[in-house]
């Protein structure tokens, strides 16, 4: 399950505003959380499309 840009626009006000040097936006982080919840994998096992798991 991935949240599209249009879907995220509807809920964007619920997330904190990003500041500073950020490599991933809130939508990408939300999609990573949904991926972990849906697939039951560990955070370290996220696909590369979600970036470095340390992030």
At residue 3, does pLDDT exceed 90?
yes
Residue 49 pLDDT: 86
Q: What is residue 20's DSSP assignment?
A: S
Residue position matching structure tokens 């990573």: 32
| Whole-number Å distance between alpha carbons of 28 and 44 | 16
Task: For 4-51, write each residue's pLDDT tens digit.
Answer: 999 999 999 999 988 888 888 899 999 999 999 999 999 998 888 888
| Domain spans of the chain, in order of start | 5-50
């Amino acid at each position: 399950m991935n949240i599209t840009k249009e879907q995220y626009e509807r809920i964007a006000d619920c997330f904190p505003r990003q500041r500073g040097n950020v490599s991933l936006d809130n939508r990408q982080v939300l999609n990573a959380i949904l991926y972990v919840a849906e697939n039951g994998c560990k955070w370290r096992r996220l696909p590369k499309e979600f970036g470095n798991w340390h992030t």
